[in-house]
């Protein structure tokens, strides 16, 4: 296990520019990987960027992930613009080393970061020439453009299962899970078979839980993180722009060759193609031990959770179980509605209608990054988005100067 992230004091942040300041910056909301990358790319093009972070340090969401987490993407293809990830961190970078890298990234590029400032609402300025940000402490900040980088995993989502409010057993969202120690010798139900749920289930088994069950509504596509030294991410990059139907046809035979049939253990092969499922928001699960754990019965697959009743968990197939603890790996909400929902820039699921260098219609200079989950790797796409957003923002500023 990597050492704990450094708690060394960061340099004192620069003051928040006062409203009406002539040097209007581009404001970047969020000091995670996407926000830091965008800030660097903007500065590299001569555009002043100020990062606003609601917590007291960069990389807040990464600091809160469970202990055993490692990137499922390679070190080389996970670096942000302008600074490689150190080779000593290994091919699959550990959580604490990701945090160290983000801290170093902000320091190395001397990014202008203001912590402890949460933006509650983004509006157009009265004259229509920029953006007004309403933030904590009554601040009203005016910028030429805004990059929203508050993160894919913003607000933990716990389904409103029938009977949940009255359930007295131990129930927590996966965002609160850190390590298997508290669950040693106990019966644990993990709900949800995304990458987080799959990895937590394996972590519990390896950490000494007496019984681990994994509740699954829809069987996922399972991928080996690496096959014969070839990372799954490389294939994802190659397939990123190919037609969906073609990738579906290619992925089927490859999956059958590399992953055993687990139908007898409750995980049948999906009927829907891999890339079709990606388009529906279901990213393949990269194997970090789940396949073997299911095959050997150390992780038991159950039906999905339908609700809670009389202290029991009611499953979709009618079975009732009474685990010692329930860990809900049920995903996150983007949490963008209070911030920008009034601008008409979100779809019916609360996601930005466009991301990257494209600004939504009617909202010039408003950019979103980090709100997709591509098979080519989140950090890789954040790096690409950062450069594109910076280019678009720089061009927009140049046009504004030419008109003035």
Spans of all domains in the chain: 26-154+334-403, 158-328
Residue 238 tokens read as 């190659």
Q: How far apart are CA 385 and CA 375, in angstroms?
A: 15
* 26-154+334-403 shares its CATH topology with 158-328: yes
The CATH homologous superfamily of the domain defined by 158-328: FAD/NAD(P)-binding domain (3.50.50.60)
DSSP code at position 73:
S
- The whole-chain average pLDDT of the chain stands at 92
Q: Over range 344-371, report the average pLDDT.
A: 95
DSSP code at position 332:
E
Q: Over range 328-342, report the average pLDDT.
A: 94
Residue 401 pLDDT exceeds 80: no
Residue 285 pLDDT exceeds 70: yes
Q: Over range 54-82, report the average pLDDT.
A: 95
Residue 20 pLDDT exceeds 70: no
Residue 307, strand partner residues: 314
Beta strands in 316-354 (DSSP E): 320-321, 325-328, 332-333
Q: Over range 64-89, report the average pLDDT.
A: 96
Give the residue with greater pLDDT, 7 vs 98. 98
* 139: CB partners within 8 A, 6+ apart: 16, 19, 117, 133
Cβ 122 vs Cβ 131: under 8 Å: yes
What pLDDT, on the 0 to 100 scale, is given for residue 404?
66
Residue 21 pLDDT exceeds 50: no
- Residue pointed to by tokens 């913003």: 154
Q: Categorize the per-residue pLDDT at 14 as very low, low, confident or very high, splitting at 50, 70 and 90.
A: very low
CATH number of the domain located at residue range(s) 26-154+334-403 in this protein: 3.50.50.60
What proportion of the chain, given as a percentage, has pLDDT over 90? 82
- Residue pointed to by tokens 């190395």: 108
Q: Over range 368-372, report the average pLDDT.
A: 93
Residue 333 pLDDT exceeds 80: yes
Residue 231, strand partner residues: 226
Q: What are phi and psi of 271, to 5 degrees?
A: -80, -30
pTM equals 0.89
């Amino acid at each position: 296990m990597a050492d704990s992230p450094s708690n060394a004091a960061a340099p004192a942040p620069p003051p928040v520019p006062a409203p009406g300041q002539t040097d209007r910056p581009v404001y970047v909301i969020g000091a995670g990987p996407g926000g830091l990358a965008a800030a660097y790319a903007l500065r590299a093009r001569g555009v002043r960027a100020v990062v606003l972070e609601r917590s007291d340090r960069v990389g807040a969401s990464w600091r809160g992930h469970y202990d055993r987490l490692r990137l499922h993407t390679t070190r080389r293809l996970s670096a942000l613009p302008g600074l490689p990830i150190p080779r000593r961190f290994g091919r699959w970078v550990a959580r604490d080393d990701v945090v160290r890298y983000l801290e170093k990234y902000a320091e190395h590029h001397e990014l202008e970061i203001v912590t402890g400032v949460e933006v509650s609402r983004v509006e157009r300025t009265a004259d229509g020439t920029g953006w007004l940000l309403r933030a904590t402490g009554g601040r009203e900040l005016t910028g030429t453009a805004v990059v929203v980088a508050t993160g894919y995993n913003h607000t933990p989502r716990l389904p409103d299962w029938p009977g949940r409010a009255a359930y007295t057993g131990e129930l927590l969202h996966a965002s609160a899970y850190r390590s298997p120690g508290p669950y040693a010798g106990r019966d644990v139900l993990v709900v949800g078979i995304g990458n987080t749920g799959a990895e937590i289930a394996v972590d519990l088994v390896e950490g000494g839980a007496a019984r681990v069950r994994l509740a699954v509504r829809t069987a996922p596509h399972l991928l080996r993180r690496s096959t014969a030294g070839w990372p799954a991410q490389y294939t994802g990059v190659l397939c990123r722009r190919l037609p969906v139907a073609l990738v579906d046809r290619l992925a089927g035979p490859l999956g059958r060759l590399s992953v055993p049939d687990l139908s007898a253990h409750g995980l049948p092969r999906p009927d829907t193609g891999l890339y079709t499922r990606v388009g529906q928001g279901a990213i393949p699960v990269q194997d970090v031990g789940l396949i073997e754990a299911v095959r050997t019965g150390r992780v038991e697959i159950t039906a999905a959770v339908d609700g809670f009743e009389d202290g029991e968990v009611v499953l979709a197939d009618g079975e009732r179980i009474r685990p010692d603890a329930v860990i809900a790996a049920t995903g996150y909400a983007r949490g963008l509605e209070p911030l920008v929902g009034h601008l008409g820039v979100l779809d019916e699921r609360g996601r930005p209608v466009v991301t990257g260098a494209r600004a939504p219609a009617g909202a010039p200079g408003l950019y979103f990054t980090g709100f997709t989950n591509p098979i080519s790797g989140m950090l890789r796409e954040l790096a690409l988005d950062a450069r594109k957003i910076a280019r678009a923002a720089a061009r927009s500023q140049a046009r504004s100067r030419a008109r003035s």
